[in-house]
């Protein structure tokens, strides 16, 4: 029995749907893709991102055209930065004939960092993401996660010998009115902690970071406030949130602090 012939160009996604339910976000999620990210040194860093792209779907349409998202990603992956993503968002909205478009790009950003005394080099990975939306206008938020060392002020104050310390994670999320380098955010966070975290440390470096942390005790509240002050002073940042979580070394819980602020800037 011969199989029935099917027209290959039927646009099923554009066929009508009669349930009258609009979908807020529909698209592709967690595509693993190589991208290029700008470095403050003037180069472009090659890294691998997870990319998600969505549009709203009006109630009258059955589905969206998923392949168009991937085509757009392939066209723009060589330059995926905060300066180009607004244009990508507009193109997603236009090509998918949508009212709203969204994009999420998460990637590790690598910095070659020298140990403080020996100068031994090692790569540090910082998890970053860019989340953008367009409706009436474009909204863009950048997130950077920075590991830190924090030494407990209370432990230092009550102990005859030493004090407990722990590794923490600071999550900065911000909006900008001009380009802000990822490296700037990392530097502000690391300057607000008891000490940096390094990938390579020799004995002389361990002595240095231990003594530096001991001389700069910080609660999570201290780190959050210190980071907030530095972000508030940056002319390119108009809104930010700071979350600090310490993986406590002697408690069965983590310590956490969070704040967010909007900043009025003169254009």
> pLDDT tens digits for 55-70?
998 777 776 778 888 9
- pLDDT band at 10, cuts 50/70/90? low
What is the second-level CATH architecture of the domain 22-262? Roll (3.10)
pLDDT at residue 6 in the model? 57
Residues 260 and 240: beta-carbon distance below 8 Å: yes
Confidence (pLDDT) at 185: 98
- Report the alpha-carbon distance of residue 214 to residue 152 in Å, rounded: 9
Identify the bridge partners of residue 134 per DSSP, sorted by sequence position: 101, 138
- Average pLDDT over all residues of the chain: 90
Domain ranges of the chain: 22-262
Q: What percent of the chain has pLDDT over 90?
A: 68
pLDDT tops 60 at residue 7 = no
Quick one: average pLDDT of 212-234?
97
pLDDT, position 27? 92
Please, which pLDDT band fits residue 102 given cuts at 50, 70 and 90?
A: very high
- Which two tokens mark 31? 């595509």
């Amino acid at each position: 029995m011969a199989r029935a012939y099917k027209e290959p160009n039927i646009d099923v996604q554009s066929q009508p749907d009669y349930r009258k339910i609009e979908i807020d976000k529909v698209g592709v999620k967690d595509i693993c893709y190589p991208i290029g990210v700008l470095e403050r040194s003037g180069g472009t860093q090659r890294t691998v991102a997870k990319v998600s792209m969505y549009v709203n779907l009006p109630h009258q349409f059955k589905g969206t055209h998923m392949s168009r998202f991937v085509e757009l990603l392939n066209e723009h992956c060589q330059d995926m930065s905060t300066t180009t993503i607004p244009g990508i968002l507009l193109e997603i909205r236009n090509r998918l004939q949508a009212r709203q478009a969204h994009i999420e790009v998460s990637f590790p950003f690598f910095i070659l960092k020298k140990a403080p005394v020996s100068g031994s080099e090692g790569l540090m990975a910082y998890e970053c993401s860019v989340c953008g939306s367009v409706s009436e206008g474009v909204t863009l938020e950048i997130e950077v996660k920075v590991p830190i060392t924090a030494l407990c002020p209370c432990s230092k104050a009550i102990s005859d010998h030493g004090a407990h310390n722990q590794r923490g994670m600071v999550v900065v999320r911000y909006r900008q009115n001009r380009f802000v380098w990822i490296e700037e955010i990392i530097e502000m966070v690391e300057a607000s902690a008891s000490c940096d975290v390094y990938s390579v440390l020799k004995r002389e470096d361990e002595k240095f970071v231990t003594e530096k942390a001991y001389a700069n005790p910080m609660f999570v509240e201290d780190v959050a406030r210190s980071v907030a002050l530095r972000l508030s002073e940056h002319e390119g940042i108009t809104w930010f949130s700071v979350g600090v979580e310490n993986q406590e070394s002697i408690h069965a819980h983590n310590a956490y602090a969070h704040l967010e602020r909007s900043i009025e800037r003169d254009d």
